[in-house]
Amino acid sequence: MRRILWAGLVVVVVLGVPPGVGQAAISPPDAGPAAAVSEVARAVAAAHASGRRVEVLSQRTAAQEVFAEPDGTFTARLHAVGPARAGETRHAAAASGGDFPPPGAGWAKVFSGKPDQAYWNGGPDGPVAKVGQCYNDGTCNGIGIARTYVQFDIRALHGATILNIPGQTSGAEFNAHEVYAPSCNGGGRDIAVDLEHVLPFGEGLTWRNQQSSFPGAIGGPRAEMHGYNASCGPAWIGWGVGDQVRYSNDVTRTDYVAFMLHANNEGEQLAWKKLDGFTLLVHYDWPPNAPSSPFISAGTKTVACSTDPTNPNYVNNAASPLTLRTVATDPDPADSLWTEFEWADRGGGRVGGANPGPLGNGSEFTAQIPAATFADGRQLSWHARSGDGRVNGPWGPQTGSGWCQVDIDNTAPAVPEVQLSASQPPSTAGSPVTFIATSGDPGVVSFRYGLTQGGGTCTTPSSVDSQQVVSFPGGQRTESASIAVTPLKAATWDLWVAAVDRADNVGACRNLRFSVLRGRGPVAQWRLDGGRDDTAVPDSSAAHAHNGTVAAGPYQWVLGRLGDALRFDGSADSYVAPGGGPAVRTDQSFSVAAWVRLDRSDGVTHAAVSQDGGTVPGFLLGYLAGSQRFAFQLNPTDAVGSAVAVPATAAPRVGAWTHLIGVYDAPAHETRLYVDGVLQGTAPVTVSWNATGGVQIGRSKSGGGYTGGWVGALDEVRVYDRVLTDVPSLEPADPADPADPNGSVPRSEIDRLATPPVEEADYPLDRDPGDISGNYRTVVLSGDASWVPGRVGGGAFHVAGAGAAATAGPAVRTSSSFTLTAVVKLETVDGGTHTAVSQDGFALQYRGDTGKWAFRLPDGTTVTAKKAPVANQWAHLAGVYDAGAGALRIYVDAALEGSASVASGTPDTTGPLVLGRGAGSEWWAGAIDEVHAYTGVPSDPQLAALSGQTDPSPPSLYSGAFERFAGDDGRHYAGPGPVPPGYHLEGVLGYAAPVAAANTQMVYSCRYSGGFFLDLSDTCADHEVLGPAGLMYSTPPPGVPTQAVYRCVVLANGDHFISNDAGCESTSDHIRNEGTLGYTRLYAPLIRFSELGGTRWTSATGGHQPGIYTAQARLGYVSMTDVGQTLYVCLDGADEYLSTAAACEGGQKLGTTGWVWPTDDLPPGAATTAPLFGCRDVDGDRFESLDRFCEGAPETGQPLGYVITEFGGNQ
């Protein structure tokens, strides 16, 4: 409650008004700018704390001050303002800068002797009000009888309640300050003054046109005389006017409340009075506002109030109480509030109510109706109003019917019908499976559903709204919804569906069991394998529908994460735009994956893979300028500025291979990004359009043009028309690969794609320190290291006390997934730690403190096997760091013996790979055999195959031959293998001489800083010796077809290669012939290559062969000179095959690849021969085989001639 005091002869009052009612000089506590409201709160708090009046500074004006009282009320002190000079008009005062009340607020006097003269605010008679018959002292000037009218501006009170508290206040008091009476004593005569309530008046008020008054004087006459002399000095006289102010404020709602003072006996001269001030004290309270935010809760359901009887709130009262909710507010911040709830039958009488409180301003009030109060079908209405203990506010809600409408529905819907959508293809992992749920209950509004793998418990965490379907004939109405779920692995799944009605009643579940097949393979796959001059970028997916080419110039084939990779320089011409149109619909679920190597993190967007829209790409996988992170970006519409991106959590590693997967899960309305198999984040998104353009590799669209050129290398780009899953499974990511057997560690598709194994080092240790992986990370023995018999092959590495074998540098990056395997025999099982294989922190070892095998990471994370070693017994150990899965595993003899969680961020180590020693003095004590190091994670079957190995690794398919290979940088390797990664077959230069032949010399494979070369010296001219390459004849033997082999050097870069051309295939100013190495036999291995999609290519020379093919099998040896039957390399579309027909049986002839023998007569130096057959697979792919039945093909093979399968003798 607040008191507002108007004071002064001329009164100007503009009270605070509720929002929307004009301009206020005195504002309610919760009105106005935030700063002003805060100032009111400050003053209230300070007054309460100090016990004294505190001014509200934000309310100060020239005409008023407002004070907060200690008891929480307010006082407004309003100053009298008006013309300072008698007779000055309102307009003159305004012109002279005087402060004047608004029109209508103020006072006026009228004289019977001057019936047509207006005296607004005293006028020409001066600023003193007068009442009664002028006392005849010679100064009356003929004025006769005087009356005074006073009115106050009460517009700011509209909406407030004028209080009427019996015994305390009528709500308002009118006071007049009497400064003169003709005597101090009336002597029993009628000297009283009356106050009447009159209608508001204007400035033209005169005696002749006085304002009408309401019947009767207010509160009786005031018979008081003040101001005659010191014994009866000036004083206030007053009346209670609460009813009058309430009438004007609430009933007629006028802008002003007006009063008239007159003598009770206007013929009595002693009743003459003069007055110089008036006050109106109003006791009022702003009523609470209508309650806001009405809600009703039943169980877990809370809904906003509906005021529409035809669309009420439906709730269940059988199982849970009903809670009515609303928020109460009051313009007075300090007021405590109560809220009255009332509920009734719709259109009927009151049923119940509640009046909770008191609570603070702005609190939520609740009323609870107990469970089982109302039966099914009862129709109710409820509303609420708030009070502050003095007055009540209006009922709410204030819209519609003015009541919240509620229908009681205590009956759950029936079990719905569920069936597979008629258009649903066979269910596969990662692809949406669509079901149709229907219910005949018209109250059903949604269906809850969930997907489980086995189990008998209804699980329905998701929901979909239903739609009403009308069936004709008959007009039957049913509720129906399409439910799309995405099973994440091949298994038997259960779909659970329950109907939900408008009261949130959930019916019983319907269960539908269905089987899910292995996820579909990629719809497009670009391996990006090629060499030097290759421009083809074929699609290796089953459909082969999106083949592309790369323009000559701004690209380079480089060593990739898997095989080769394509490097882009970011220029406008550095990209691949495969044909065949879009790879996926971007408004449906899809995934895109790629190995990326970013060579420059420069704050500019670089797109690895995208698919064109009209203006923007449907998706972009790459590096975004805004976040300066790897990211997966979707564009929900074909418009610039609509993109939704999920960035990586960390900055990219520049120059390092990183695996990215972007997933759009349409049923879940979510996009995800995985980096190196680890989920980086998700974002909600619904794609409303399908980008129908083609895929772009190395760039993306923006604003209709291309930009975002990739800077770095890309490898293994795949696009799937489904969700790639991160749910562990025994199913591999590629359907062409076999499933892992039971007992294997389940791994997700995403983990498998991010961790493909690539062999970095392979040490048979058969009395040789060489690495046969092709990386040639030869180890150097030191200390007491020696050779002993091994478990596999011809030997093993042995350490007895302080010996080791180390590479020149690291074999694997320890910050990403890697695997170490070794066959070990520990001769001493003691309390010490003995390390078999280590690299500057990680170690595959025996720990004496546990007596078990262990695998340790550089950060100290260790996994310990359950099995203890047995002294002098061979065991196969495998340590796996799976970064994507965050797991460290150890296998002993192919069995998983332990697993531990690993935090992300394992550091890279830069030290060498060491056999036989760990940190400090962790020397091995025993033998080590068959050590392998992998980047990535081999499958459990692959680890089992390594554990079960009994024979040495088979020799290279090129073994015995001198083949020439070219690297992506143009440098060469020559020898029988193993072939270094990134090198492709360039040609064959003959077969080695037999061991027992005369006039032969050994040629050695060597390496120096500039690359590989062959040399006749067993020291490789003091460079690194990789091993014997094979024998060559010193001079051509009689009767044996041979050819000379020359060593050549490229003068510009020092690259060495071998050639059968004495001119080294160039001129002497570019390439120099360094001399003859010897002579080789004119035989060449016939190699069958295969491609990921299963197609094959057979060649002895490597000519015309795309880079995506890898060596699969050796089919024997062909002659490099004419022996009667030419082998032609032919092409039918994309299908390569060999033929002895010069016309290639109607296909395209690419060239020749040697000669076969027409009969089985043994050629010189041959021990055995075999027929070669041309075959055709069930899918039409043509290939070559030594099997007459074509390895299970539907038709037997067509003979092509004979090849050598084994050499013998001394020729």
**Res. 13 pLDDT band, cuts 50 70 90:** very low
Q: How far apart are CA 1209 and CA 1211, in angstroms?
A: 6
pLDDT at 163: 85
Q: How do residues 213-234 score in pLDDT, each as one tens digit?
A: 888 899 999 999 999 999 999 9
292-408 and 417-515, same CATH topology:
yes
Positive or negative torsion for Cα 22, 23, 29, 31 = positive
DSSP state of 359: B
Question: Average pLDDT, stretch 863-879?
Answer: 95
Q: Which of 71-80, 426-435, 627-636 has the highest mean pLDDT?
A: 627-636
pLDDT at 78: 46
Q: How far apart are CA 900 and CA 288, in angstroms?
A: 63
Query: 1175: which 2 tokens?
Result: 């075959």
Q: How do residues 896-920 score in pLDDT, each as one tens digit?
A: 999 999 987 778 888 999 999 988 7
Q: How do residues 324-343 score in pLDDT, each as one tens digit?
A: 999 999 987 778 999 999 99
pLDDT at 1: 37
Residue 1146: phi and psi, rounded to 5, are: 95, -10
Kindly tell me if the per-residue pLDDT of 136 is higher than 50: yes
373 CB burial (10 A radius; 0-12, 13-18, 19+): middle
Return the SS3 of 90: helix
pLDDT at 31: 56
Supply the mean pLDDT for the chain.
88
Q: Are 658 and 594 in contact (CB under 8 A)?
A: no
557 alpha carbon, distance to own chain's centre? 34
Query: 694: which 2 tokens?
Result: 């083609």
In sequence order, the 6+-apart residues with CB closer than 8 A to the CB of 1074 are 1046, 1047, 1048, 1049, 1056
pLDDT at 621: 98
Omega before 978 within 30 of 0, i.e. cis: yes
What stretches of 231-367 show up as alpha helix (H) in DSSP?
A: 242-246
Residue type present at position 1185: S
pLDDT at 1108: 72
pLDDT at 859: 84
Q: How do residues 1007-1024 score in pLDDT, each as one tens digit?
A: 999 899 999 999 999 999
pLDDT at 260: 96
Question: Average pLDDT, stretch 69-89?
Answer: 47
Residue type present at position 366: T
Which of 916, 938, 934, 936 shows the shortest CA–CA distance to 820? 934
Half-sphere exposure of 1209 (CA within 13 A, CB side): 11
Predicted TM-score (pTM) of the model is: 0.75
595 alpha carbon, distance to own chain's centre? 21
Kindly tell me if the per-residue pLDDT of 1138 is higher than 90: yes
Residue type present at position 610: S
Sort strands 758-763 and 705-707 into parallel, antiparallel or unpaired.
Answer: unpaired
Kindly tell me if the per-residue pLDDT of 100 is higher than 60: no
Residue type present at position 807: T
- From the candidate CATH numbers 3.40.50.2000, 3.90.1150.10, 3.40.30.10, 2.60.40.10, the one assigned to the domain spanning 417-515: 2.60.40.10
Which of 746, 744, 742 shows the shortest CA–CA distance to 733? 746
- For residue 642, list its beta bridge partners: none
Q: Are 123 and 117 in contact (CB under 8 A)?
A: yes
Write the DSSP string, 170-205. -SEEEEEEEEE-S-S--TTS---EEEEEE----TT-
Q: Are 102 and 122 in contact (CB under 8 A)?
A: no
Q: How do residues 487-507 score in pLDDT, each as one tens digit?
A: 988 889 999 999 999 999 999
pLDDT > 70: percent of the chain: 91
In sequence order, the 6+-apart residues with CB closer than 8 A to the CB of 643 are 616, 633, 634, 635
Q: How far apart are the first and last CA of the chain?
A: 122
461 CB burial (10 A radius; 0-12, 13-18, 19+): exposed
**Res. 88 pLDDT band, cuts 50 70 90:** very low
pLDDT at 1122: 94
Which of 203, 258, 171 shows the shortest CA–CA distance to 89? 203
Q: Are 894 and 865 in contact (CB under 8 A)?
A: no
pLDDT at 25: 38
**Res. 647 pLDDT band, cuts 50 70 90:** very high
Sort strands 444-452 and 1071-1081 into parallel, antiparallel or unpaired.
Answer: unpaired
Question: Average pLDDT, stretch 688-705?
Answer: 95
In sequence order, the 6+-apart residues with CB closer than 8 A to the CB of 775 are 760, 761, 811, 980, 981
Q: Are 865 and 854 in contact (CB under 8 A)?
A: yes
- Topology of the domain covering 760-947: Jelly Rolls (2.60.120)
Positive or negative torsion for Cα 692, 693, 699, 704 = negative
For residues 73 and 1037, the model is more confident at 1037
Write the DSSP string, 194-244. EEEEE----TT--STTPPPB-SS-SS--B----SSSGGG--EEEEEE-HHH
CA 192, 196, 198 angle in degrees (round to 5)? 155
pLDDT at 612: 97
Q: How far apart are CA 10 and CA 277, in angstroms?
A: 8
DSSP state of 135: P
Write the DSSP string, 915-937. ESB-STT-B--EEEEEEEEEES-
314 CB burial (10 A radius; 0-12, 13-18, 19+): buried
Write the DSSP string, 562-605. SSEEEEEESSTT--B--SSS-SS-TTS-EEEEEEEEES---SS-
Question: Average pLDDT, stretch 841-852?
Answer: 93
**Res. 1104 pLDDT band, cuts 50 70 90:** low
In sequence order, the 6+-apart residues with CB closer than 8 A to the CB of 946 are 821, 876, 878, 930, 932, 938
Q: How far apart are CA 830 and CA 1068, in angstroms?
A: 66
Omega before 358 within 30 of 0, i.e. cis: yes
Q: How do residues 949-1002 score in pLDDT, each as one tens digit?
A: 988 888 888 888 999 999 888 899 997 778 899 898 888 999 999 998 999 999
Which of 945, 1087, 1054, 1029 shows the shortest CA–CA distance to 770? 1029
Q: Are 258 and 211 in contact (CB under 8 A)?
A: yes
Q: How far apart are CA 172 and CA 219, in angstroms?
A: 13
pLDDT at 10: 31
Q: Are 1000 and 1032 in contact (CB under 8 A)?
A: yes
Q: Kindly list the distances between the CA atom of residue 609 and the CA atoms of 589, 623, 803, in Å, as whole numbers in the listed order.
A: 17, 10, 50
Q: How do residues 530-547 score in pLDDT, each as one tens digit?
A: 887 788 999 989 888 999
Which of 453, 460, 337, 312 shows the shortest CA–CA distance to 393? 337
Question: Domain residue spans in the chain?
Answer: 1-286, 292-408, 417-515, 536-720, 760-947, 961-1081, 1085-1207
Query: 966: which 2 tokens?
Result: 């070219």
The CATH number assigned to the domain with range 536-720 reads 2.60.120.200
**Res. 38 pLDDT band, cuts 50 70 90:** confident
pLDDT at 30: 56
pLDDT at 14: 31
Half-sphere exposure of 607 (CA within 13 A, CB side): 30
Kindly tell me if the per-residue pLDDT of 263 is higher than 50: yes
Which of 568, 527, 519 shows the shortest CA–CA distance to 547? 527
**Res. 74 pLDDT band, cuts 50 70 90:** low
pLDDT at 108: 94
Kindly tell me if the per-residue pLDDT of 90 is higher than 60: no
- Topology of the domain covering 292-408: Immunoglobulin-like (2.60.40)
Which of 1018, 859, 966, 842 shows the shortest CA–CA distance to 913? 842
**Res. 1102 pLDDT band, cuts 50 70 90:** low
Question: Average pLDDT, stretch 1085-1109?
Answer: 76
In sequence order, the 6+-apart residues with CB closer than 8 A to the CB of 845 are 833, 834, 835, 836, 838, 853, 854, 855, 856, 918, 922
Q: Are 779 and 787 in contact (CB under 8 A)?
A: no
Q: Are 1006 and 1024 in contact (CB under 8 A)?
A: yes
